[in-house]
Structure 1
Amino acid sequence: MDEFAGLTDFLGAMTYWNAVQVMLASDGRLTTKAPLYERPYLDGERLMIPRGPGSAEDSEGYTDYSILDEHGSYSLRVSGRSRKDIRPDRPSCWFGHFDDATKYFVGANVAEITRMLYKPSAIPVVNLQWLNRGLAPGWLQSSEPNPSGFEPATRYFMANDPGRFYFTDSTDTAASFLLNLTWRELNTTFSEGIPGAEDIPMPDFSDE
């Protein structure tokens, strides 16, 4: 199996959100520059997600993201600087499937952040609708060490496909709802309420 299966879908989703951010910034409706991220690219066994003008280094520091193939899981890695403190490359969560890692990144770090940066008025936070609802249909959980060996930790996994799992650095049942969305559903769910987003075309996705 292609270890980076779903990469084309991820690149298409990132292109879509870059276009949404550029549209909002050009109309003065984004509280930062655009886009937040440049086009991701593979560097060996790691997918690099470069910062764009909207996520550039400033006096508060910066954060860099990448997704690393760890041969058994895919870790979303975080590094950067917070004021004077350097943050070394570390995993923040793990996924059994690459496309789940990328869906999570788009939802949590691109689409929801775009909604948070929208002005002049606030747009409802999408993830709030999934809080306190337990796990999405088809998902189960078990207490076990995460791939780094840390415990206590929780493994969330699909009942009919235990190889499809995720660990996050905190209790996160809401992510199961996000991961149950198709790529198109993810983009339309998070773009709802953003005027003009409906005019930006989305690519075809492999799960359609």
Structure 2
Amino acid sequence: MDKWSGLADLLSSLEYWSEVQTTLANEGHFQGAAPLYGRPYLEDGRLVIPRGPGMAEDSDGYTDYSIVEEPTFFPVRIAGRSRGTLIPESANAWFGTFDDVAKYFIGRRVAAPTRSRVQPDGVESVNTRWLDRGLAPLWDQVIEPDPSGFSPGTRYFRSDQPERFYFTANTDSATSHLLNLSWRELNSTFNEGLSGIDLIPMPRFSDD
């Protein structure tokens, strides 16, 4: 299996959400410039996700993201600045497959922030739908240190596909629901209720 399986779906989803953000901004319904991110590129086993004009460096700080190929997992690595202080790069989430980390990034770092920036008051948070449901079907969990060595940590994993697992910085059963969605379901779930969304064509995905 291609370790970078899901990369084309991530790129297509980013392009889709960039168009959504631009449309919302043109209608006066989006806080800040659009899009949030530029086009990602691979560099020595690292997928770099550049900041777009909607995530520009400013006095309030910024966060830069990348997804790195390591021997047994793909971490989401972050760096940035807060109140003028540089934040050294570190990982705050780890996934067993690239496809899962890509879905996590689109849901949590692209689509959810888009919804929160809708003017005047944002739209319903998708994540709250899953907070009290426990783990999604076929997911389980075990207490063990996360890949950074922090303990106690929680490894969430698919019981039928043990190569699919994740750790996040906080208790996070909700992510299992996000990862059980197909790519089309993921993007459709997060675009619900957005102005003009029916006029923006959604791309084809590898799991359609």
- How far has the Cα of 1:162 moved from its partner? 1.0
| Identical aligned residues as a percent | 55
Equivalent residue number for residue 71 of structure 1:
71
Return the alpha-carbon distance in structure 1 between the equivalents of residues 47 and 2 of structure 2: 14
Q: Tell me, what secondary structure is at the counterpart of 1:60? A: coil
Return the alpha-carbon distance in structure 1 between the equivalents of residues 27 and 199 of structure 2: 14
Equivalent residue number for residue 103 of structure 1:
103
Equivalent residue number for residue 197 of structure 1:
197
Return the alpha-carbon distance in structure 2 between the equivalents of residues 199 and 20 of structure 1: 10
Report the RMSD for the aligned CA atoms in angstroms: 0.8
Equivalent residues in 2 for 1:165-176, closer than 5 Å: 165-176=165-176
Per the normalisation by structure 1, the TM-score is 0.98
Equivalent residue number for residue 179 of structure 2:
179
**Structure 1 stretches of 4+ moved >4 Å:** none
Aligned amino acid, residue 40 of structure 1: P
The reply on whether 1:34 has 2:34 as its aligned counterpart is yes
Q: Tell me, what secondary structure is at the counterpart of 2:94? A: strand
- How far has the Cα of 1:193 moved from its partner? 0.1
Aligned amino acid, residue 154 of structure 1: T
Equivalent residue number for residue 114 of structure 2:
114
Q: Tell me, what secondary structure is at the counterpart of 2:63? A: strand
CA-to-aligned-CA distance 1:97-151 (integer Å, 9 cap, x gap):
1011011011011101101000134311100000021100000000011112221
Equivalent residue number for residue 58 of structure 2:
58
Aligned amino acid, residue 166 of structure 2: Y
- How far has the Cα of 1:86 moved from its partner? 1.0
Aligned amino acid, residue 27 of structure 2: D
Q: Mark the runs of 5 or more structure 1 residues left unpaired by the alignment.
A: none
Return the alpha-carbon distance in structure 1 between the equivalents of residues 64 and 190 of structure 2: 23
Return the alpha-carbon distance in structure 1 between the equivalents of residues 62 and 123 of structure 2: 25
Equivalent residue number for residue 188 of structure 1:
188
- Aligned pair count? 208
Equivalent residue number for residue 94 of structure 2:
94
Return the alpha-carbon distance in structure 2 between the equivalents of residues 148 and 30 of structure 1: 36
Return the alpha-carbon distance in structure 1 between the equivalents of residues 161 and 100 of structure 2: 13
Equivalent residue number for residue 2 of structure 2:
2
CA-to-aligned-CA distance 1:147-197 (integer Å, 9 cap, x gap):
122210000000001110000000000000001010000111000000211
Q: Could you tell me whether the CA contact under 8 Å between 2:59 and 2:84 is conserved in 1?
A: no
Aligned amino acid, residue 198 of structure 1: D
